[in-house]
Chain A
Amino acid sequence: DGGITQSPKYLFRKEGQNVTLSCEQNLNHDAMYWYRQDPGQGLRLIYYSQIVNDFQKGDIAEGYSVSREKKESFPLTVTSAQKNPTAFYLCASRKGGQGPYEQYFGPGTRLTVT
């Protein structure tokens, strides 16, 4: 079955620690995305990548970093510089090109930083 996996589902960290969230897809999609979801705020784009070895900042990139060394993987690191990291993080992927292709979402990782 093709899809997107995110692990772990729940993650707990102490303040001041960096943490990396995993996102893997086997859909052969070129584009991948990271969103942050907070109650009442919808989804906000953190970073996205349209092709391997390339990525762009989204609307709220400060305090986050990504890499795209393989087509199927797009890990997100939440650094200690992120002021309010506790949130639900969603990864998505999409077929490449300009068509109205939908984004497919993973199940999410809930990060709690104390």
Chain B
Amino acid sequence: GNSVTQMEGPVTLSEEAFLTINCTYTATGYPSLFWYVQYPGEGLQLLLKATKADDKGSNKGFEATYRKETTSFHLEKGSVQVSDSAVYFCALRDTGANSKLTFGKGITLSVRP
């Protein structure tokens, strides 16, 4: 079956530090990949997505590249801000009629001023 594995957290960084959050996946087909962000007390918002191998998704300074050879979709940001403090979820949606998302466990990012 499908699965998404995220690195263990939480992660604490100082403002302007470089961020990498690892995500690897297992899927039977050719999935679409997503990063969602959840700010405290809120629902999830789509941060970025990629639909095929070598696609790069980007938004708000965050980037992730769909790497089929390593089955990875790592999230990066060159310089984090305090406002980036949130929980980040990696997810995949496999091809086919089933439209379900499979989520990773999420990782909490705290950014110190």
Please indicate which of the listed interface residues B41, B43, B93 has the most CB atoms of chain A within 10 Å of its own CB: B43
Residues of A in contact with B, size category? 20 to 34
CB distance from A88 to the nearest CB of B (A): 9
Interface string of B20-59 (1 = CB under 8 A from A): 0000000000001010100001111110010100000000
Q: How many A-B residue pairs have CB under 8 A?
A: 51
**Does A107 count as interface, using CB distance less than 8 angstroms?**
yes
A103–B89 Cα distance when bound, in Å, is 13
Do the beta carbons of A102 and B43 come within 8 Å of each other?
Answer: no
**Number of contacting residues on B, CB 8 A?**
23
A98, CB-defined interface residue at 8 Å: yes
B97 contacts A98, C-beta separation under 8 Å: yes
A100 to chain B, nearest CB (A): 4
Distance between Cα atoms of A4 and B105 in the complex (Å):
23
Complex Cα spacing A92 to B43, Å: 9
Are the C-beta atoms of A90 and B105 separated by less than 8 Å?
no
Q: Does A63 contact B (CB under 8 A)?
A: no
Contact status A98-B99, CB under 8 Å:
yes
B92 to chain A, nearest CB (A): 10
Q: Which residue of A lies closest to B97 (CB)?
A: A98
> A5 to nearest B CB, angstroms?
11
**Segment touching B, from A11-19, A39-47, A65-73, A74-82:** A39-47
Bits for A88-100, please: 1 = Cβ < 8 Å to B, else 0.
0010101000101
**B95 contacts partner chain A, Cβ-Cβ < 8 Å:** yes
Given A41-B105, A43-B103, 14 new contacts (CB under 8 A): A4-B43, A31-B99, A33-B100, A42-B103, A42-B105, A45-B100, A50-B99, A90-B44, A92-B43, A94-B99, A103-B46, A105-B43, A106-B43, A108-B41
- B residues with a Cβ closer than 8 A to A are 32, 34, 36, 41-46, 49, 51, 89, 93, 95-97, 99-101, 103-106
A interface list, Cβ under 8 A from B: 4, 6, 31, 33, 40-43, 45, 48, 50, 58, 90, 92, 94, 98, 100-108
